[in-house]
Structure 1
Amino acid sequence: MIYSVFAPLIFALFVPWLSKHKDKIHTGIFVFFIPFIIFLYFIQFIGSDFSPIRETINWIPSMNINLDFYLDGLSLLFVLLISGIGALVVLYSIYYLDKSEKLGNFYVYLLMFMAAMLGVVLSDNVFVLYTFWELTSISSFLLIGYWNFKDRSRYGALKSMLITVFGGLSLLGGFVLLTVITGTTSIQGMIEQVDIILSSQYLPLALAFILLGAFTKSAQFPFHIWLPDAMEAPTPVSAYLHSATMVKAGIFLVARFSPIFAGFEGFFITVSLVGIITLCWGSYMAVRQTDLKGILAFSTISQLGMIMAMLGFGTEAAVFAAVFHILSHATFKGSLFMIAGIIDHETGTRDIRKLGGLFTLMPISATLAIFGTFSMAGVPLPFLNGFYSKELFFDATLSLEGVSWLSQAIPYLAVFGSIFTFVYSMYFFFGVFTGPKRFDRLPKKPHEAPFGMLISPIILVLGVILIGLFADKFNQPFLLHAAQAVNSGVEYHEVYFWHGFITPFIMSLIVIAVGAILYLTRTKWNKIYTILPGRLSFNRVYDAIVEKLDTYSKRLTNSYMTGSVRTYMLLILGTTIVITAVYMYITNGFIINLHDTAEVTGLEVSIVVIIIIASIATLFAKNNIAAILITGIVGYGVSMLFVIYRAPDLALTQLVVETVSIALFLLCFYHLPKLRKREESTGTKLINLFISIGFGLLIIMVGISAHSSNWFDSISSYFVENSYKLGGGDNIVNVILVDFRGLDTLFEIAVLGIAALAVFSLIRLKNKKGAK
């Protein structure tokens, strides 16, 4: 299981090399086998006898942060969607993306995203989950902005990252609160302490933070605005991120934490209300769109709202319906995104106003679209999986308890949202494949897509049909386990097509009847969009906020980024003085305890006096050489103190550093400007005096306090006892540097090496310029 998470990242290292041979063989052919193998590995866990599996790798044990992975029914459902649809998307992209594209970049980003999503759904440690969560935002930013030469691609990528990362930071706050409440970082461990969480005063705040992260990622109202702009990504990205994976990360998060928060009424109110509003608003706005992917974007928003609402209901029927629709939505929406990509690829446009009558020229694509759109609309046919989950949704809305006004309103809102779902589904299919032919308005002469591009949507449509025909076969061995991971009370109930003329079926008939009327009369009432939303737009709010932040941040930055080194030093040192002094005062950190200090002799006093005199003398030096030599006296004086206090290694290090520094100064002093007295105002001199004296006193305070404080047991005895035993050396300091702190020393050497390379590069660069 652990290897499955990191396999895409490891393979991504080889993609740039493989992409060099893309002229001979498409890079996607190699990439395809990664998600396909992962899918084959996890599909073996499907079965009625499945039980959860846990794997752990120690990462940061001291902070209780380990790579804990947990596979249960819920994570298995998402893993199969991520890997299965991921394989189909890669197969589709082989025919969609030309070899002239930057295929190496595309597949590296795609594999990075795949690994991040697998990490999200399999992680049991909240901080590991958060790490993968943010990686999904970064990788999706790269995928959405893949065509970075387009302004809209860059805009959509930035918009998605700003909104989802904002939610991610909120999510981190929620995780920190839950960790503080429970004392564990394990999600399953938190679930075992539900009573403690529900009785905590931090519960509302933790819930708000976590839901904010979920709502932003799953494009819930009013954070839905990033999803339509993300449609600027290549269609394989849209089919993957925005139908089966990234947008469902928030859904997964709410489902995973439902066992914790379901007993809190605020959870039911917030999640149900936001979900049902998102359902209604997304379906309503989808009918307004003219871009095919725009229609599908708002339809995705609507469908996500529907799933979120069902998770908010929290009942056994609602949870099972939500799980069922997660699977159904991935199949029909993934196929429809691919069909939209095929139409764009073969006609040169996604503008539905220019399309029409394509059934005769693209019969296979049209046939596939029939199953996808009619399933999305919830048409009551036994071979359409969308109808089953839609009817389960209606049934769940009829048995709600809790806040009376909300419970009574939800069934009507569900019907309202579903009516517009039917309208935009019919609008998508009939607007593209029937009606008058407008081939002369198309950039390209339309024709059917190559068979290779049709394979993936064909497989997804077969999924739509098979799940519809054999719905109960997917129930007990697969979906039931996923639902029980969210609500342990879910029991097995047979799923079948005909239940008689019950209320949910009547609600479906109402949706179809009213939806058909609205579709046929769409030109009569679509002017309503000039009233609602009219000029109201959350996009304008977002743009205004980003513009203001950009303006004020530039103004603030320009106020201190003046190009003056003195200004920078004043800000850095002044801030350090204030923050450190205030913190020490608040925490009573300044302590003087001199009971175990060594005796001070006249020799040490003499050396310190010499150091002080030399320090002051540098202020009055008339030329560069004098200033350099006097500074050297300070350094050598410190070296003598190290010798007196029996620290020969430090003394030798100080002597070497001081000697090299003086030598370098003397070699380049003629390049330095001549020392001259600067005319400064009284205010400037006072500021300089305050900073210099203040920083000096601060260092003295910190040094004395560090020596006098004894907050922790000294580690020196451990080094004394184990330096020879474990490190094999008599010199304790050397053993510490080489063995106990070997990595620290290694990184210090690496930093010095990088600095040396930088200096060498600058010298070479200067020599080349001089040669020219």
Structure 2
Amino acid sequence: MSMLHWAIISPFLLAIFVPFLYKYVRPIHTGLFILPLPIILFIYFIQYISITEKYGTQIETVPWIPSLGLDFTAYVDGLGLLFALLITGIGSLVILYSVYYLSKEKEKLHHFYVYLLLFMGAMLGVVLSDNLMVLYLFWELTSLSSFLLIGYWNERERSRYGAQKSMLITIFGGLALLGGFLLLSVMGGTYSIRELAAQSSELAGHSLFVPALLLILLGAFTKSAQFPFYIWLPDAMEAPTPVSAYLHSATMVKAGIYLVARLTPIFAVSPLWIWLVGGIGILTLFWASFHAPRQTDLKGILAYSTVSQLGLIMSLLGVGALSFHYDTIDDNIYIIATVAAVFHLINHATFKGSLFMVVGIVDHETGTRDVRRLGGLMTVMPITFTVALIGALSMAGMPPFNGFLSKEMFFTAMVRVLQADIFSLDTWGILFPVIAWIASVFTFLYSFLLLGRTFFGSYQPEQLPKKPHEAPLGMLIAPVVLALLVIVFGLFPNMLSHTLIAPAADAILTGPFRTEGSALHISHWHGWTIELWMTISVIVLGTMLYKTFPRWKSLYQKFPKRLSLNHLYDRMVDGMERGSYTLTESYMTGYIRTYFVYILSAFIALLAFSILVKGKWHISTDHLAPVGAHELVLSLIIIAGTITTIMAKSRLTAIIALGSVGYTVTLFFVLFRAPDLALTQLVIETISVSLFLLCFYHLPQLSRHEKGIRFRLGNALISIGVGVIVSLIALLSYSQKNFDTIAQYYVENTYEKAAGKNMVNVILVDFRGFDTMFEICVLGIAALGIYVMVKLRMSKGEK
């Protein structure tokens, strides 16, 4: 494997050793043992900037299942590199922060860091995989590892609820995504994303194109918390703050954003893609920003703000897809939307990561996140306040921070939707800038509510579980670094424009920058544009809403909880649990006979249906051997024993009759010159009869129900049905051979390949070696289970 592949799987390899090594590094925090890996990976991925800034790519392939077209192809371009740097860079800061946030005496740190490493490796696999199936494998692994991280404090009911909720919604989307990937591969004849993008014009006319588009977007929307699937993200805030800062600001929730960006070259030719991505994104932005101010938990405010910011990026990707319908970069005014999406992706990771860490510090040092109990912490925690001020102003879109620049570009993109003359956007496109402006007002509001209700106002030490003080230096390093990046990227945005932003946007738009030679330049001042006036009006109206918030916040109480999406989700889960319990109770009766009735009835129905569908009823007796008198006598004995077994009034008689059937079959094997089979049948039959006699001896007598005619008639019908079906299939198979018998293969190869003279033994041990081994394993597991139950029963009896 190449170094690139090792970089992807290195977090998994380290995760394997953490449970074994953490005991030896306990004098130091486990996080310090983990921290070097993401730092090394971050430095490793930085070297690719020299390749991607020239719009080059790096491709490394390791064959996996070539016959199925599955290869582990690692693909680095501007988009993949951007996400890889976010995953490793933010991951390094989060691990450093967690060293001071999580106590090594109170927490199971080896569990936490194993989950975190699994997630880091899975995210790297998602953003650097070119094969759809490999990408899907890593995609589902992110859901699994995030489930473990969200439910890390599993003793808390809300943590378990949040973990389950995120798992159900994202796994549901993941299954839809798998269906979309399969349809896409059927259309294009390949799993390679690059090869599929090259066929986009041909794929657009395929009948499976729209179903694939819808299924893939369903997977992306659930992962990136788009409306109406966003409801899992606020409940996921029960996770430790380092998890929230990593998963829910910079990485996991961006996986859906990445997928939409990566597949835009394939689906952007469809107006449905533009409307769904842009429309759902702008709706999510508005809905979440409107509901964020009503939250009283600091992480709740950040959760809804994350949803709104993800909606903003998604809407930009939708509008940016319009650029595929213009010929040149000069006429293509929608490229700015994709550039804004990439830029805001970076900005959001910096200011939101710092804000999550600030909230973690406040919770850690005061013992609460409830804004109704907080206030006046500016003088008590001045460094934390400074970081929060920078992050909140950037999130609100205030100059000179980086959030202002990408927000201005967002306004520009939304305004330019009005100029689109395709897909009726020139009619309905007015909704995009209007909703964008309204949502920005509420974004300004919740940003200042987060800042003001925590650090301004009256100081209430009696309301706090702990006496607040400034966080230790180690806990401040990570948020301070992110806050400095907010400032640096705001003041010097063009240090990113050519190294990260343009290459990433170029990968989404498939080459406009490299083909047209456009120079991307980001600046603060563009004159007195409509975007600037929109920003000024956002500040004015947002300030008015902030000042008057106590007077009108009661309006949020007018929304009935019974109509909320969370209530609908809870009702659906409760309904499914009750329905599954009722259904299970209907067939799980506790009687083995009932289960056999289900199994054998299904066996009869399915095989009979298959025979009817095939319609091949020809039965030939030309090649059957003649039946001798001794064979006829043995057959009559088997029939008599079978009838006696069914009609017997005691279990002892039934067991003896059943044994006679088995021993008579042994005689058949002797007559057919199969001594090994005869010996095997003899041993098994002897053991079976002995065990049956031993077990049934301790059972009560047959009940009246078991002696009744209905009970016996049911047994007879099912038995006759199974016998008839099996016999019929045997005769039909013998009469209509479509393939050469495999028996000759064993005759020719038993001695040559296995060096054995006993064909039956060679088949069992060599040709069916794995089958035999697994049968032995099953028997061993069953024996072990029986032994444990016996020991448990004996130990209970002793007590």
Greater alpha carbon shift after TM alignment, 110-119 vs 623-632: 623-632
Greater alpha carbon shift after TM alignment, 329-338 vs 665-674: 665-674
- The corresponding residue for 1:6 is 9
**Match of 1:80, as an amino acid?**
L
User: Aligned pair in 2 of structure 1 residues 755, 433: CA closer, same or farther (>3 Å)?
Assistant: same
User: Aligned pair in 2 of structure 1 residues 220, 721: CA closer, same or farther (>3 Å)?
Assistant: farther
Q: Does 1:42 align with 2:45?
A: yes
- The corresponding residue for 1:346 is 365
Encode CA deviations 1:108-143: one digit per residue, 9 max, x unaligned. 222222222222223333233223222222222222
Greater alpha carbon shift after TM alignment, 666-675 vs 182-191: 666-675
Cα distance in 2 for residues equivalent to 1:761 and 1:290 = 51
Cα distance in 1 for residues equivalent to 2:482 and 2:152 = 25
Of the candidates 504, 522, 525, which is equivalent to residue 482 of structure 1? 504
Encode CA deviations 1:353-387: one digit per residue, 9 max, x unaligned. 21111111111111111221111111121xx2212
Cα distance in 2 for residues equivalent to 1:520 and 1:186 = 54
Q: Does 1:234 align with 2:261?
A: no
Q: Does 1:498 align with 2:525?
A: yes
Q: What is the CA distance between 1:199 and its match in structure 2? A: 0.9
Q: What is the CA distance between 1:578 and its match in structure 2? A: 2.5
Q: Does 1:91 align with 2:118?
A: no
Q: What is the CA distance between 1:145 and its match in structure 2? A: 1.6
Cα distance in 1 for residues equivalent to 2:523 and 2:440 = 21
Cα distance in 1 for residues equivalent to 2:728 and 2:132 = 39
User: Aligned pair in 2 of structure 1 residues 75, 730: CA closer, same or farther (>3 Å)?
Assistant: farther
1:436-447 pair list within 5 angstroms: 436-447=458-469
Question: Is the Cα contact below 8 Å between 1:182 and 1:193 reproduced in 2?
Answer: yes
- The corresponding residue for 2:332 is none
Question: Is the Cα contact below 8 Å between 2:562 and 2:568 reproduced in 1?
Answer: no
Encode CA deviations 1:364-417: one digit per residue, 9 max, x unaligned. 111111221111111121xx2212221221222233323223322211211111
Cα distance in 1 for residues equivalent to 2:751 and 2:601 = 45
Cα distance in 1 for residues equivalent to 2:131 and 2:665 = 49
**Match of 1:601, as an amino acid?**
V
Question: Is the Cα contact below 8 Å between 1:590 and 1:702 reproduced in 2?
Answer: no
- The corresponding residue for 1:747 is 774
Q: Does 1:112 align with 2:118?
A: yes
Question: Is the Cα contact below 8 Å between 2:278 and 2:314 reproduced in 1?
Answer: yes
User: Aligned pair in 2 of structure 1 residues 710, 373: CA closer, same or farther (>3 Å)?
Assistant: farther
User: Aligned pair in 2 of structure 1 residues 644, 266: CA closer, same or farther (>3 Å)?
Assistant: farther
Q: What is the CA distance between 1:645 and its match in structure 2? A: 5.2
The residue matched to 2:75 in structure 1 has which SS?
strand
- The corresponding residue for 1:662 is 689
- The corresponding residue for 2:411 is 394
- Give the root-mean-square deviation of aligned CA atoms: 2.8
Cα distance in 2 for residues equivalent to 1:207 and 1:298 = 27
User: Aligned pair in 2 of structure 1 residues 175, 644: CA closer, same or farther (>3 Å)?
Assistant: farther
Q: What is the CA distance between 1:94 and its match in structure 2? A: 1.4
Q: TM-score, normalised by structure 2?
A: 0.90
Of the candidates 724, 746, 758, which is equivalent to residue 697 of structure 1? 724
Greater alpha carbon shift after TM alignment, 728-737 vs 160-169: 728-737
Cα distance in 1 for residues equivalent to 2:137 and 2:620 = 46
The residue matched to 2:59 in structure 1 has which SS?
strand
Question: Is the Cα contact below 8 Å between 2:706 and 2:712 reproduced in 1?
Answer: no
- The corresponding residue for 2:402 is 385
- The corresponding residue for 2:183 is 177
Cα distance in 2 for residues equivalent to 1:306 and 1:359 = 30
Encode CA deviations 1:153-193: one digit per residue, 9 max, x unaligned. 12211211121122122222222222222232333332232
1:143-162 pair list within 5 angstroms: 143-162=149-168
Q: Does 1:140 align with 2:117?
A: no
Greater alpha carbon shift after TM alignment, 104-113 vs 66-75: 66-75
Question: Is the Cα contact below 8 Å between 2:61 and 2:74 reproduced in 1?
Answer: yes
Encode CA deviations 1:619-666: one digit per residue, 9 max, x unaligned. 244655544343233334434445555655544443443333234345
**Match of 1:389, as an amino acid?**
S
Cα distance in 2 for residues equivalent to 1:336 and 1:103 = 24
The residue matched to 1:148 in structure 2 has which SS?
coil
Identity %: 53
The residue matched to 2:72 in structure 1 has which SS?
strand
User: Aligned pair in 2 of structure 1 residues 184, 346: CA closer, same or farther (>3 Å)?
Assistant: same
Q: What is the CA distance between 1:536 and its match in structure 2? A: 3.5
The residue matched to 1:287 in structure 2 has which SS?
helix
User: Aligned pair in 2 of structure 1 residues 665, 339: CA closer, same or farther (>3 Å)?
Assistant: same
Cα distance in 1 for residues equivalent to 2:78 and 2:102 = 35
User: Aligned pair in 2 of structure 1 residues 640, 398: CA closer, same or farther (>3 Å)?
Assistant: farther
- Structure 1 stretches of 5 or more lacking a match? none
Cα distance in 1 for residues equivalent to 2:766 and 2:87 = 43
Question: Is the Cα contact below 8 Å between 1:589 and 1:705 reproduced in 2?
Answer: no
1:324-723 pair list within 5 angstroms: 324-381=343-400, 384-400=401-417, 401=420, 402=422, 403-404=424-425, 405-491=427-513, 492=518, 493-531=520-558, 536-586=563-613, 588=614, 592=618, 594=620, 597-602=623-628, 604-621=631-648, 624-642=651-669, 649-666=676-693, 668=695, 670-674=697-701, 678=705, 682-708=709-735
Cα distance in 2 for residues equivalent to 1:543 and 1:53 = 46
Question: Is the Cα contact below 8 Å between 1:214 and 1:251 reproduced in 2?
Answer: yes
Q: Does 1:293 align with 2:299?
A: yes
Cα distance in 2 for residues equivalent to 1:349 and 1:36 = 32
Greater alpha carbon shift after TM alignment, 241-250 vs 617-626: 617-626
- Structure 2 stretches of 5 or more lacking a match? 324-334
Cα distance in 2 for residues equivalent to 1:593 and 1:17 = 64
Question: Is the Cα contact below 8 Å between 1:418 and 1:511 reproduced in 2?
Answer: yes
Cα distance in 2 for residues equivalent to 1:457 and 1:710 = 73
User: Aligned pair in 2 of structure 1 residues 711, 306: CA closer, same or farther (>3 Å)?
Assistant: farther
Question: Is the Cα contact below 8 Å between 1:219 and 1:225 reproduced in 2?
Answer: yes
Cα distance in 2 for residues equivalent to 1:722 and 1:494 = 73
Encode CA deviations 1:39-62: one digit per residue, 9 max, x unaligned. 232222112246333344444444
User: Aligned pair in 2 of structure 1 residues 600, 764: CA closer, same or farther (>3 Å)?
Assistant: farther
Question: Is the Cα contact below 8 Å between 2:177 and 2:216 reproduced in 1?
Answer: yes
Q: Does 1:69 align with 2:113?
A: no
Q: What is the CA distance between 1:770 and its match in structure 2? A: 4.8
1:152-301 pair list within 5 angstroms: 152-301=158-307
Greater alpha carbon shift after TM alignment, 341-350 vs 106-115: 106-115
Q: TM-score, normalised by structure 1?
A: 0.93
- The corresponding residue for 2:36 is 33
**Match of 2:665, as an amino acid?**
V
- The corresponding residue for 2:327 is none
Encode CA deviations 1:525-563: one digit per residue, 9 max, x unaligned. 323323457763111111121222222222222222222
**Match of 1:553, as an amino acid?**
S
Q: What is the CA distance between 1:267 and its match in structure 2? A: 0.7
Cα distance in 2 for residues equivalent to 1:450 and 1:325 = 30
Question: Is the Cα contact below 8 Å between 2:561 and 2:567 reproduced in 1?
Answer: no
User: Aligned pair in 2 of structure 1 residues 553, 656: CA closer, same or farther (>3 Å)?
Assistant: same
Q: What is the CA distance between 1:350 and its match in structure 2? A: 0.5
The residue matched to 2:35 in structure 1 has which SS?
helix
Cα distance in 2 for residues equivalent to 1:609 and 1:636 = 13
